[in-house]
Amino acid sequence: MNRPLLHTAEELHGLPRAGRRAVVMTMGALHEGHATLIRTAREQAGPGGQVVVTVFVNPLQFGANEDLDRYPRTLDADLRIAEGAGADAVFAPAVDEVYPGGDPQVRISAGPMGERLEGATRPGHFDGMLTVVAKLLHLTRPDLALFGQKDAQQLALIRRMVTDLNFPVEVVGVPTVREEDGLALSSRNRYLSPVERHTALALSRALFAGQDRLAAQAALRARAEASPASDERATALARLGEIRASADAHAVSAAGGGLPDAVRAAALHVLEEAGRHEPPLVLDYLALVDPQDFTEAGPGFTGQAVLAVAAKVGATRLIDNIPLEFGAHS
């Protein structure tokens, strides 16, 4: 790599600063999703700015039975990808450089949001993640920090930490990058055998099924908006030959205010089918949540939401999500 490769905080602090600095934090094993983050950072920093990529496999965010030792370390390939995407420097410290006294006694607490979904499945994960993000923000001192929306709960918690603790940095979320078959790009995808990958495609299919259900219901409501929603009035419409309006009115009446439940049900149907595949998909959670605090969206929910899923296929655990927008009549 022709760009600087830095291993110590001293080297990092000695890096000449030019314009706005953008940082992309990774655990290595870079792929096109990371490259997209780096290219976006390059655009955001501008031609006179600077992009720093960090490569650090953080032991604090791995549980006792998780894949810390198995996690791929591919620094040489990472350097090529980072440089090709526009990084000006890569900071790849050793564990004892980031945690010189061993595991830190003082850590960032993720609070109640950090105990939901991923936090419930992986206790302490988000505390470890926020602790290393806070340290790397202090070490890199960026104006911008870019994170992928694929890790939606992580992104929400980082934004909350930055706001609550007054970090002088702008957090930028970058949309999920998917492979041609729809699977969200992840360093863990390389663990999947061909048959496991086929089963794993159910994650993205389920999310898009939920998205399609939301779009279909929005179209249904638009068609039925001028039609009465009661079964009695819908039957009257049918007698007058207004079959389409009658059907729409019946459907709107039956749906009531439970569109979030309908979205969940559409996604769950795909996941339950994948649970009967060989190998099966083992569902951890499917949730439709408010991105502000990751609490479940209720029947009358309006505004932005995140439909999130986590599951295991074989020995590999995968997560995915998509953003959704619920209107006032959802």
Neighbours of 11 (CB within 10 A): 15
Distance CA 177, CA 146 (A): 14
Q: Is the four-CA dihedral 38, 41, 47, 53 of positive or negative sign? A: negative
Residue 197, CA atoms < 13 Å, CB-side half-sphere:
15
How many CA atoms lie less than 13 Å away from 25 in the CB half-sphere?
28
> Could you write out the DSSP letters of every residue in 8-28?
SHHHHHTSPP-SSEEEEEE-S
Length of the chain: 330
Q: Which of 31, 34, 125, 250 is catalytic?
A: 34
- For residues 310 and 317, what is the distance between their CA atoms, to the nearest angstrom? 7
Token output for 188 = 């863990």
Residue 198 annotated among the catalytic residues of the structure = no
207, 210, 216, 221 alpha-carbon torsion, rounded to 10°: -140
Alpha helices in the chain (DSSP H): 9-13, 32-45, 75-85, 95-98, 118-121, 125-140, 152-164, 194-200, 202-224, 231-239, 243-255, 259-274
Distance, CA of 170 to CA of 316 (rounded, Å): 33
Residue 222 neighbours by CB under 8 Å, 6+ apart: none
Residue linked to tokens 């806070």: 134
Distance in angstroms (rounded) separating the CA atoms of residues 257 and 234: 18
Helices (H) and strands (E) in the chain, counts: 12, 9
Catalytically active residues, by annotation: 34
